[in-house]
C-alpha cells in the first residue's frame, strides 16, 4: 500500500568485430554420438563449473580455453595440452575448428562475445544474466534470429522436469484454483567488498584492457577484481542481476507459462546499506511488477535475518524462490524443489527436481539435431527474464530520495504486497535503519512498453537513459536490425 511505501527503506548510504570472419553455421550430422568441438570463454569460478558439465559428454572435444587472466588458464593448459590457450576471445571465435562456445565471462561481456560468436556461425551457450542492459540483449536476440544458430542461456532450471510438473499442477489440473499473485524473494547473506583509499592495481597475470572490453575504464576502489565486479554497475548488475534471472525466469515459466514477456509497470525502492564499501548495487531491494495477468512482488536482501544472525531471512519457507498464491492454496518453488499447500497451510504435494542437471545436454542435443526448437532455455526467453531484473535496477537508479511523500498506485490493497512489505519492514527495522536516510532510493511507478522495451510517460526520460550504455572503442555492441 502507498501508506507503507515511504517507510520501507533504507540506510547509508567494432572495428575489432569487423575483423571476424562471417561464415555459415557448421551443421553437424544428426545423432547423439557426434563430436562437438567447444571453445570455453571465461575460465573463472563459474566457467570451471559449467566446463565440467560439458566434459561430462564423452563426445565433446576441447578445442580452446580463453581468459584474459593467465592464472585462470594455467590449470587447463596443463590438463588439456592439445587445446588452444588464448587470452583474446576473438581468436577462439574466429577459429574454424570450433563448433560452439561457452560464454561465462563477467556480465558486461556476455552480449558482445555472443554476438561475435553468432556472426561467426558458432552455436552459443551463454551464462545469465543474458545482458548488461536491455538494448544489447535485443541485439543478441536479433543476431540469433538472423544467423539461425543454436543459442541457450544458462537458466538451467528450465531443464528440470519439476517445472513441467508444477505447471501441470497449477494450470492444467487447477489443483489450487486460479493464480492471483506471485511473491518472490532472494535472501542470501553477503559481505562488504571493501573500500580502498587508492585504486586497485589489476594483477600482472591479467590483460586488463581485454577484461574491460565493452566497459568503461574506471578506477576500482574495491579490494578484489574478480567476482566483486558483480556489485559495480559498470561491469555487473548487482544481486538483482545475479540471482534475479533464475527466480524471475522460474516465475515467467511456471506461473505465467511464458505468456508475459516483461511487465507493463514497475516500481522499486532500495539501497546499499550498512556497508561503507565500494559497491554500488542495492543489498536491500524491493520491486513491484504489474502485468496483464497478475502482479509480482519481489524482496531482496544480502543482510543477515537480524543483527548477529548467521542465516538469511526466509519468507513463507523460502530463501531464494517464489510463492504463487492461488484462490484455494499456494505453491512455493525454489531450485530443485517445490511444495503445494491448501488454503489452511496443509501440505498437499511435494515436488523434487534435479536443478536442471541436464541443461548442457539439452544444448548439445539441439546442436546435434540441428534443431533450435529443442532448447529448453532459448536466448529470447533469457532476454525477457533478464529484463525484469534490469527494470528493477533502473527504477532504483533513476529514482529519487525517500522524502516521505506517498507513491500512489503501488499495489494498493494487495495482501501479497502488504505481507512481503511487512516482512521487509521488520527486517530493515531490526538493523536500525532509517527510512529517509540519504542512501535510500525510490522510483515513481514507471510505465513500460513491452513491445518496444522502453519506458513511457512520467519518469521515462531519465529511466530510458539506463537502457543502453556507451562502449569503449573497438568493443561496441553492434546494432542489428
Q: CA separation (Å) from 7 to 95, 425, 426?
A: 56, 8, 11
The 8-class DSSP code of residue 358 comes to T
* CATH label of the domain that carries residue 207: 3.30.360.10
Q: Which three cell numbers stand for residue 40?
A: 570455453
- Asked whether residue 317 is assigned to any structural domain, the reply reads yes
Residues 344 and 208 in one domain: yes
Residues contacting 400, CB < 8 A, separation 6+: 441, 442
Q: Which string of b and e fits 440-459 if b means at least 16 CB within 10 Å?
A: bbbbbbbbbeeeebebeeeb
152: pLDDT strictly greater than 90: yes
Q: Which string of b and e fits 330-339 if b means at least 16 CB within 10 Å?
A: bbbbbbebbb
Residues 147 and 239 in one domain: no
6: pLDDT strictly greater than 50: no
318: pLDDT strictly greater than 60: yes
Higher pLDDT, 401 or 292: 292
> What are the pLDDT digits (tens) for 71-108?
999 999 999 999 999 999 999 999 999 999 999 999 99
309: pLDDT strictly greater than 50: yes
Task: For residues 368-380, give the mean pLDDT.
Answer: 98
- Asked whether residue 109 is assigned to any structural domain, the reply reads yes
3-17, 60-74, 394-408: the lowest-pLDDT one: 3-17
pLDDT for the residue numbered 16: 38
Of 114, 132, 158, the one marking the end of a domain is 158
Residues 329 and 414 in one domain: yes
Q: Please provide the DSSP assignment of 173-196 as one string.
A: S-TT-SEEEEEEEEE---------
> Of 262, 235, 207, 243, which Cα lies nearest the Cα of 89?
207
- Total domain count, the chain: 2
- Asked whether residue 332 is assigned to any structural domain, the reply reads yes
148: pLDDT strictly greater than 60: yes
158 close to 253: Cβ distance less than 8 angstroms: yes
> What are the pLDDT digits (tens) for 177-189?
999 999 999 999 9
Q: Please provide the DSSP assignment of 427-444 as one string.
A: HHHHTT--TT-TT-EE--
228 phi and psi angles, rounded to 5 deg: -70, 0
Residues 109 and 203 in one domain: no
User: Using CA atoms, how far apart are residues 473 and 464, in angstroms rounded to an integer?
Assistant: 23
Task: For residues 265-273, give the mean pLDDT.
Answer: 95
29: pLDDT strictly greater than 90: no
What separation, in Å, do the N-terminal and C-terminal C-alpha atoms of the chain show? Answer: 42
Reported as a pLDDT band with limits 50, 70 and 90, residue 23 is very low
Residues 308 and 405 in one domain: yes
222: pLDDT strictly greater than 90: yes
14: pLDDT strictly greater than 60: no
> What are the pLDDT digits (tens) for 449-476?
999 999 999 999 999 999 999 999 999 9
- Asked whether residue 454 is assigned to any structural domain, the reply reads yes
304 phi and psi angles, rounded to 5 deg: -60, 160
Residues 184 and 89 in one domain: no
Of 123, 158, 193, the one marking the end of a domain is 158
The 8-class DSSP code of residue 43 comes to -
Residues 45 and 117 in one domain: yes
> Of 67, 101, 38, which Cα lies nearest the Cα of 210?
67
- Asked whether residue 481 is assigned to any structural domain, the reply reads no
Q: Which residues form the domain of 32?
A: 15-158
354 close to 214: Cβ distance less than 8 angstroms: no
User: Using CA atoms, how far apart are residues 355 and 377, in angstroms rounded to an integer?
Assistant: 14
Enclosing H/E stretch for 250:
helix 244-250
- 3-class secondary-structure state, position 362: helix
Enclosing H/E stretch for 203:
none
Q: At what angle do helices 134-147 and 379-397 cross, to 10 degrees?
A: 170
18-27, 155-164, 332-341: the lowest-pLDDT one: 18-27
Amino acid at each position: 500500500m502507498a501508506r507503507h511505501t515511504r517507510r520501507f527503506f533504507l540506510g547509508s548510504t567494432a572495428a575489432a568485430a569487423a575483423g571476424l570472419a562471417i561464415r555459415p553455421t557448421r551443421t553437424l550430422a544428426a545423432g547423439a554420438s557426434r563430436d562437438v568441438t567447444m571453445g570455453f570463454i571465461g575460465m573463472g569460478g563459474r566457467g570451471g563449473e559449467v566446463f565440467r558439465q560439458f566434459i561430462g559428454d564423452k563426445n565433446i572435444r576441447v578445442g580452446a580455453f580463453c581468459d584474459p587472466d593467465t592464472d585462470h588458464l594455467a590449470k587447463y593448459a596443463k590438463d588439456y595440452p592439445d587445446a588452444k590457450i588464448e587470452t583474446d576471445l576473438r581468436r577462439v571465435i574466429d577459429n574454424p575448428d570450433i563448433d560452439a562456445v561457452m560464454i561465462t565471462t563477467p556480465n558486461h561481456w556476455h552480449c558482445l562475445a555472443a554476438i561475435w560468436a553468432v556472426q561467426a556461425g558458432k552455436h552459443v551457450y551463454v551464462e545469465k544474466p543474458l545482458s548488461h542492459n536491455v538494448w544489447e540483449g535485443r541485439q543478441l536476440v536479433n543476431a540469433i534470429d538472423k544467423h539461425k544458430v543454436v543459442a541457450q542461456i544458462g537458466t538451467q532450471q528450465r531443464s528440470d522436469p519439476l517445472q513441467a510438473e508444477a505447471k501441470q499442477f497449477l494450470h492444467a489440473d487447477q489443483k489450487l484454483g486460479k493464480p492471483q499473485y506471485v511473491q518472490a524473494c532472494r535472501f542470501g547473506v553477503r559481505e562488504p567488498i571493501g573500500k580502498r583509499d587508492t585504486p586497485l592495481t589489476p594483477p600482472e597475470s591479467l590483460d586488463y584492457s581485454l577484461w574491460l572490453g565493452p566497459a568503461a575504464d574506471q578506477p576500482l576502489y574495491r579490494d578484489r577484481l574478480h567476482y566483486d565486479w558483480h556489485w559495480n554497475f559498470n561491469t555487473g548488475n548487482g544481486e538483482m542481476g545475479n540471482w534475479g534471472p533464475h527466480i524471475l525466469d522460474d516465475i515467467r515459466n511456471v506461473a505465467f507459462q511464458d505468456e508475459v514477456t516483461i511487465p507493463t509497470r514497475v516500481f522499486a525502492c532500495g539501497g546499499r546499506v550498512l556497508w561503507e564499501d565500494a559497491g554500488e548495487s542495492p543489498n536491500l531491494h524491493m520491486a513491484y511488477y504489474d502485468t496483464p495477468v497478475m502482479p509480482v512482488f519481489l524482496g531482496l536482501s544480502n543482510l543477515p535475518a537480524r543483527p548477529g544472525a548467521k542465516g538469511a531471512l526466509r519468507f513463507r519457507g523460502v530463501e531464494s524462490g517464489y510463492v504463487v498464491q492461488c484462490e484455494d492454496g499456494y505453491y512455493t518453488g525454489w531450485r530443485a524443489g517445490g511444495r503445494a499447500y491448501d488454503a489452511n497451510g496443509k501440505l498437499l504435494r511435494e515436488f523434487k527436481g534435479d536443478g536442471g542437471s541436464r541443461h548442457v545436454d539439452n544444448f548439445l542435443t539441439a546442436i546435434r539435431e540441428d534443431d533450435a526448437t529443442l532448447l529448453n532455455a532459448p536466448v529470447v526467453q533469457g532476454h525477457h527474464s533478464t529484463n525484469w531484473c534490469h527494470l528493477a535496477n533502473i527504477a532504483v537508479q533513476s529514482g529519487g530520495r525517500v522524502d516521505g511523500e506517498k507513491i500512489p498506485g503501488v499495489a494498493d490493497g494487495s495482501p501479497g504486497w502488504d505481507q512481503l512489505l511487512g516482512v521487509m519492514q521488520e527486517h530493515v527495522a531490526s538493523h536500525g535503519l532509517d527510512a529517509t536516510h540519504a542512501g535510500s532510493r525510490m522510483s515513481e511507478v514507471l510505465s513500460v512498453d513491452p513491445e518496444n522495451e522502453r519506458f513511457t510517460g512520467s519518469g521515462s526520460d531519465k529511466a530510458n537513459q539506463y537502457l543502453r550504455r556507451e562502449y569503449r572503442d573497438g568493443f561496441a555492441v553492434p546494432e542489428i536490425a
